[in-house]
A = this chain, B = another copy of it.
């Protein structure tokens, strides 16, 4: 009905996990990587990055061990666990957002990591996202149809969301050609 829902698939979390798939790292470095590679896709403050990493650790998706350094402050070196790896690849192929914003954010992030770690599954990821968008469009259309005509503001909101989804469809079609994704 709305967008303010928690999806449970917030992906700055998975993005951090995704960087750790490439090998061990630490908070500062992960935040740097994130910002340069995806800084215009998501925003992630440093303290928020550390907060997410702490959560991932308590959940058992990553493990930490302290490495003392001669001169600079000690690092907490982080490694992804088997469980974390499993969760990450599950998200990569299943995690789908429903609204305009999360499609842009999550889809791009998934595409980024798919290219890095599993380029063979790009067509699959692309297709399931596209299917999801089409089904959302369908749902919105019927919702709008059945909306009482006096609800002008609700209607305006839904209208714009519908138009945004169609825009995203075209934007994704563009991506298909850019990434040479074959139809499946």
Q: Which of B108, B112, B154 is the one whose CB lies under 8 Å from A38?
A: B154
**Identical chains bound together, number:** 2
A55 to chain B, nearest CB (A): 17
Interface residues of A (CB under 8 A from B): 1-5, 37-44, 100-101, 104-105, 108, 111-112, 143, 147, 151, 153-161, 163-164, 167-168, 171, 175
Q: Within 8 Å CB of A147, what residues of B? A: 40
- 23 A-B pairs, CB-CB below 8 angstroms? A1-B39, A2-B40, A2-B42, A2-B43, A4-B42, A4-B44, A5-B43, A38-B153, A38-B154, A40-B143, A40-B153, A40-B154, A41-B153, A100-B100, A104-B161, A105-B157, A108-B156, A156-B175, A159-B171, A160-B168, A163-B171, A164-B167, A167-B167
Report yes or no: B100 in contact with A101, Cβ–Cβ below 8 A.
yes
